[in-house]
Amino acid sequence: MASDAPGEGPTEPRGYWFSQLTRYHWFVLTVAALGWLFDTMDQQLFTLARAPAMAELLATEEGPASPEDTSFYGGLATAIFLIGWATGGLGFGVLGDRIGRARTMIWTILIYSACTGLSALSVGFWDFAFYRFLTGLGVGGEFAVGVALVAEVMPDRARPYALGLLQALSAVGNVSAALINMGLGVMESGGGLESLQVGDQPVQAWRLMFVVGTVPALLALIIRRKLKEPERWQATHDTSKRLGSYADLFSDPQLRRNAIVGLIMAFSGVVGLWGIGFFSYDVFRKVFTAQFEEAGLSPDEVAESVAIWISMTSILQNIGGFFGILAFSWITPFIGRRKAFAFAFVAAMLSTIMVFGLMDDRYQIFWMIPLMGFCQLALFGGYAIYFPELFPTRLRSTGTSFCYNVGRFVAAVGPFTFGYLSGVVFADMGETPDSPMRYAGVTMCAIFLLGLAVLPFAPETKDQPLPE
């Protein structure tokens, strides 16, 4: 395929996959990766801030919020965020096909950055949930246009590796959020935030985390100045064919089948990560707190230690995820997309059951958590590689967004279900405060079997060019 860099001709495949890439290829990959990296940083800031935010926002004059309320409303806030994610993905996916990948990316980055900052101003649960919904609009739109942009610019041989690298770098965004959480948590427990006050109340660390989430807006300036639309999209845009149409997507039997299969695959992985995996922090928070209290630490020392260990857990999970995503991109050119997904779904289920069922000491996070992150997030590397290969250029952003984001509409029941199971169904079961969450997590791991079951209906795209 011809290079998208102005004035450069085609490059013949030889050597390593990256030997084909021009400076412009690297620029596009860098910009798209940064957009998704900051996107995931904002997502993870919410995940890490969820429990303390619920504790503050649900507290009343009569006393602090109950653990059951914190768990239930934390799941509800996550579900609302995922609904916003799905809504934004559907809308911006269509815009990505109609007005261009680069232009749409600017809007998505501005929205998720600004609304993450607004979350810091929340005074109660419902305005917090509203800001999370708005943030989700931008978060959901960024992925589809980013992967469509990279898929269309990259040479065919380099495409799965480049998309895998883009998705793997999202783990850097998650690790950045964990480091921010760790630093602010230590400052808060040590009294370093007491000088920051609104009225007569000190500013909590979770609010400052959301303020940091506004930084990605600066990336939009770079995109506006330097990034060009892919040649594939420009060629399609100049034809009479309709772009970004859900009616066209579902009027074609093969594209309709691809969209439904992709949706179910994404639903399985999204519930597994957002409805189970990311709730592991709330489980471990209870484990860490109990162990530090048993060790005789003061309340301030317990709070500081828990903040450090929760952040460390997030870092380890995302380090594992980084290598899991890369592993998927490395093996799928050899064994194919469907076999790689099959391995990933089974591994994700078994590793998640192991963590929720067996982890009872904080030192186990050093091997259990990276393993779970490796297996769960490997699936998301597959989504970035596979979904753009299922749809033609004029419907690529629309189709990719449908798979990845309509799955989130349905997957929004995952966090809600986790909160309901742990806060209601299993609330009185077990001998420790974390037992209800453990039962909920193990029960919900059956969702990975759904992704495995639909794979026979998924087309194999290994060694095939992008459909025009």
Residue 279 gets which letter from DSSP? G
What is the Cα–Cα distance from 90 to 79, expressed in whole angstroms?
Answer: 17
Closest CA to 411 of 265, 267, 277: 267
E-state strands within 167-315 = 197-198, 201-202
What is the Cα–Cα distance from 37 to 284, expressed in whole angstroms?
Answer: 25
Report yes or no on 4 lying in a domain: no
Task: Please tell me the total count of domains within the chain.
Answer: 1
For the stretch 37-85, pLDDT in tens is: 888 888 888 878 888 889 888 887 777 877 778 878 888 888 888 888 8
Question: Whole-angstrom distance between the N-terminal and C-terminal Cα of the chain?
Answer: 12
Q: Percentage of the chain with pLDDT > 90?
A: 24
| Number of CB atoms found within 10 A of residue 428's CB | 8
Closest CA to 128 of 53, 44, 45, 41: 53
Res. 3 pLDDT band, cuts 50 70 90: very low
Report yes or no on 212 lying in a domain: yes
Tokens coding 159: 């495409």
At 433 the pLDDT is 64
At 190 the pLDDT is 66
Alpha helix segments (H runs only) across 336-434:
337-358, 365-386, 396-401, 407-411, 413-420
Report yes or no on 462 lying in a domain: no
What is the Cα–Cα distance from 467 to 69, expressed in whole angstroms?
Answer: 49
Report yes or no on 6 lying in a domain: no
What is the Cα–Cα distance from 284 to 293, expressed in whole angstroms?
Answer: 14
Report yes or no on 220 lying in a domain: yes
Contacts of 181 by beta carbon, 8 Å cutoff, 6+ apart: 45, 48, 49, 205, 209, 307, 310, 311, 314
Report yes or no on 3 lying in a domain: no
Report yes or no on 15 lying in a domain: no
Contacts of 161 by beta carbon, 8 Å cutoff, 6+ apart: 17, 18, 329, 330, 333
Report yes or no on 37 lying in a domain: yes
Tokens coding 422: 């742990």
With a cut of 80, say whether residue 446 has pLDDT above it.
Answer: yes
Tell me, what CATH number does 451's domain have?
Answer: 1.20.1250.20
Q: What radius of gyration, in Å, describes the C-alpha atoms of the chain?
A: 22
For the stretch 216-250, pLDDT in tens is: 777 776 776 778 888 888 887 766 567 778 888 89
Closest CA to 452 of 319, 272, 316, 192: 272
Least confident of 32-41, 214-223, 257-266, 286-295: 214-223
CA angle 121, 124, 125 (to 5 degrees): 110
Residue 347 sits in which domain range?
20-457
**φ/ψ of residue 5, rounded to 5:** -75, 130
Q: What is the pTM of this model?
A: 0.78
